[in-house]
């Protein structure tokens, strides 16, 4: 009986593994907390003494009733400890989940926040001084038929003419795109006769990026152009399209904002912001926003 009790007592008094007392997977605030994988084994460890006592009984050595009672009491205490640990972990996980959910924006997308969006800061305009021999002035889609649809288009005409005259005087390249008239547009359809294209300076070319399907890049390379000035309509069309296309091909891009127009002021605003800072770095790093009055040759 003494030997049997000694074996059982040793098993019952064996300390819990650390993982049973403080689960290694438990971290306060961890969303993915779960009970220890070996929770069942931990309970087995707590009842080792009771099973040892039963084995002694089976061998005929007898059972110490007080010892079995103490083993049962310890088992109950260990079970309560497991439950308290589980509840504490569950409460911590639930609290962390509530914090994450509270930090998540309630709006699903930009349309839900549309009315609350504030415009960014005004783009910075800079004066520029250009070398005429390496500069190309692009006058894009400035047609009689389309100008009336853009409220500011007429107001841009004297600004475009100012740049046109200065560019020609400095020996810069001038290039035009013509649109409309069912694909039969001619230089006579340009909005102002004061800056009509000359022979070999124009193409009939629609779309926002005038490099596509035209001889523009060929012309620029042949003249050794390094910087282009983008003028025309619409701002959100040819301004962004050809401005971005020029920047991505390695040209410096000058955008005089008073030489471009759109159907409404918001389109002009977002086009200016896109080229200033809102677009990809490969574009914005090559673009300078300015006004026609601060462009010098």
Q: Are residues 202 and 285 in the same domain?
A: yes
Give the per-residue pLDDT at 176: 99
Q: pLDDT band for position 181 (50/70/90)?
A: confident
Are 140 and 18 found together in one domain?
no
Cα–Cα distance for residue pair 58/7, rounded to 1 Å: 14
* Domain with 48 in it: 2-103
Question: What band does 20 get if pLDDT is binned at 50, 70 and 90?
Answer: very low
Question: If you average pLDDT over every residue of the chain, what do you get?
Answer: 81
Least confident of 32-41, 103-112, 149-158, 288-297: 32-41
CATH code, 143: 3.40.50.850
**How far is 20 from 253, CA to CA, in rounded Å?**
68
**103, 119, 143 — which closes off a domain?**
103
Domain end position, chosen among 86, 103, 120? 103
Q: Is residue 45 part of a domain?
A: yes
- The answer to whether residues 73 and 205 belong to one domain is no
End position of a domain, from candidates 103, 118, 145: 103
CA angle, 253 then 258 then 261, to 5° = 95
Tell whether 111 is covered by a domain. Answer: no
For 196-246, give the DSSP string. Answer: PPPTTSEEE--SS-TTTTSSHHHHHHHHT--EEEEEEE-IIIIIHHHHHHH
pLDDT of amino acid 27: 45
Do 92 and 57 lie in one domain? The reply is yes
Q: Is residue 284 part of a domain?
A: yes
Residue 151 has pLDDT above 90, yes or no: yes
Query: Alpha helices, DSSP H only, in 249-294?
Result: 265-273, 281-284
**Is residue 116 included in any domain, yes or no?**
no
The answer to the question of residue 170 being in a domain is yes
What per-residue confidence (pLDDT) applies to 91?
Answer: 66
Answer yes or no: do 230 and 150 share one domain. Answer: yes
**Residues contacting 7, CB < 8 A, separation 6+:** 52, 56
**Per-residue model confidence as pLDDT tens digits over 233-264:** 999 999 999 999 999 999 999 999 999 999 99
pLDDT at 133: 98
Report the pLDDT value the prediction gives residue 250, as an integer from 0 to 100: 98
Residues 145 and 254 in one domain: yes
* C-beta of residue 168 within 8 angstroms of C-beta of residue 176: no
Helix 65-103 × helix 2-13 angle, to 10° = 10
Q: Are 56 and 7 in contact (CB under 8 A)?
A: yes
Confidence label for 85 from pLDDT (cuts 50, 70 and 90): low
CA dihedral 274, 277, 283, 285 (to 10 degrees): 160
For residue 70, what pLDDT is reported?
Answer: 64
Could you count the other beta carbons within 10 Å of the beta carbon of residue 203?
A: 17
Say whether both 86 and 163 belong to one domain: no
pLDDT band, very low/low/confident/very high, at 23 (cuts 50, 70, 90): very low
Among 88-92, 145-149, 268-272, top mean pLDDT goes to: 268-272
Is residue 41 domain-shared with residue 152, that is, in the same domain? Answer: no
**CA 222/CA 207 separation, integer angstroms:** 23
Average pLDDT over residues 146-157: 95
Q: Between residues 168 and 73, which one has the greater pLDDT?
A: 168
* Same domain for 206 and 139: yes
Torsion angle, alpha carbons of 80, 86, 88, 92, to 10: 180
Assigned domain for 180 exists: yes
The answer on 221 and 148 residing in a single domain is: yes
Residues 209-234: what's their mean pLDDT?
98
pLDDT at 105: 57
The tokens for 104 are: 């998540």
Q: Are residues 76 and 222 in the same domain?
A: no
pLDDT per position as a tens digit, 101-124: 565 555 689 999 999 999 999 999
Give pTM, 2 decimals: 0.66
Over residues 136-150, mean pLDDT: 95
Residue 110 lies in a domain: no
| Closest alpha carbon to 231 in 295, 149, 148 | 295
193 burial type by CB count under 10 A (0-12 exposed, 13-18 middle, 19+ buried): exposed
At 26-68, the pLDDT tens digits run 444 444 444 444 444 444 544 555 545 455 444 445 555 565 5
Q: Is residue 74, in this structure, part of any structural domain at all?
A: yes
Provide the number of structural domains found in the chain.
2
Q: Do 223 and 145 share a structural domain?
A: yes
The answer to whether 239 and 274 are in contact (CB under 8 A) is no
């Amino acid at each position: 009986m003494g030997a049997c009790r000694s074996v059982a007592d040793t098993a019952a008094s064996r300390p819990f593994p650390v993982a049973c007392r403080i689960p290694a997977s438990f971290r306060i605030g961890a969303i993915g907390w779960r009970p220890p994988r070996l929770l069942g084994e931990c309970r087995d460890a707590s009842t080792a003494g009771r099973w040892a006592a039963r084995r002694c009984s089976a061998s005929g050595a007898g059972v110490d009733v007080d010892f079995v009672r103490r083993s049962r009491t310890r088992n109950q205490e260990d079970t309560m400890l497991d439950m308290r640990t589980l509840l504490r972990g569950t409460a911590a996980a639930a609290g962390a989940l509530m914090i994450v959910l509270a930090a998540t924006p309630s709006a699903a997308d930009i349309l839900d926040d549309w009315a609350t969006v504030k415009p960014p800061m005004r783009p910075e305009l800079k004066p520029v001084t250009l070398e005429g021999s390496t500069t190309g002035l692009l006058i894009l889609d400035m047609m009689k038929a389309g100008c009336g649809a853009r409220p500011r288009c007429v107001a841009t005409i004297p600004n475009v003419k100012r740049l046109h005259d200065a560019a020609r005087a400095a020996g810069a390249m001038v290039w035009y795109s013509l649109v409309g008239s069912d694909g039969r547009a001619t230089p006579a359809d340009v909005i102002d006769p004061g800056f009509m294209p000359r022979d070999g300076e124009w193409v009939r070319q629609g779309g926002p990026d005038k490099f596509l399907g035209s001889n523009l890049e060929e012309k620029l390379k042949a003249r050794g152009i390094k910087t282009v000035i983008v003028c025309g309509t619409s701002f959100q069309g040819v301004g962004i399209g050809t401005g971005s296309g020029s920047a991505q091909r390695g040209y410096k891009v000058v955008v005089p904002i008073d030489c471009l127009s759109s159907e409404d002021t918001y389109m002009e605003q977002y086009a200016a912001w896109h080229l200033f800072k809102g677009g990809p770095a490969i574009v914005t790093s090559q673009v300078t926003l300015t006004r026609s009055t601060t462009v010098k040759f």
